[in-house]
Copies of this chain bind each other. A is one copy, B any other.
Amino acid sequence: MDQVEVFKALSNKTRLMILQWLKEPELNFPPQDRDMKEVGVCVGQIQCKAQLTQSTISEYLSVLQRTGLIESTRIGQWTYYKRNEAACLELKQLIETSI
């Protein structure tokens, strides 16, 4: 896990918010058919909440995914993103010891 890359990813208000929203998806997004805990939240919902264009949000999600902090599942025409809690924990432990 490259700390500098992770900090770059999190040094943007919207990306940081997305990561935080995904901590408790059912609290931050309207209900959907699929179980949010299980599969995640689709791009459209995140875009709607973030109030930026679809292309921007799609790119931001890629940036977060590249760090490993979130992961995606494609189902039909939707891509669902959810947190990778193991990676988030690893990051927190790394910061705990390195900062």
Contacts and interface: CB of A to CB of B under 8 A. Distances in A.
B4 A12 contact: yes
Interface of A: 3-4, 7-8, 10-13, 16, 19-20, 88, 91-92, 95-96, 98-99
Contact of A11 (B7, B98, B99): B7
Q: Majority SS of interface residues in chain A?
A: helix
A95 to B, nearest CB: 6
Contacts of A92: 95-96, 99
Contacts of A98: 20
A5 B99 CA distance: 16
Contacts of A20: 98-99
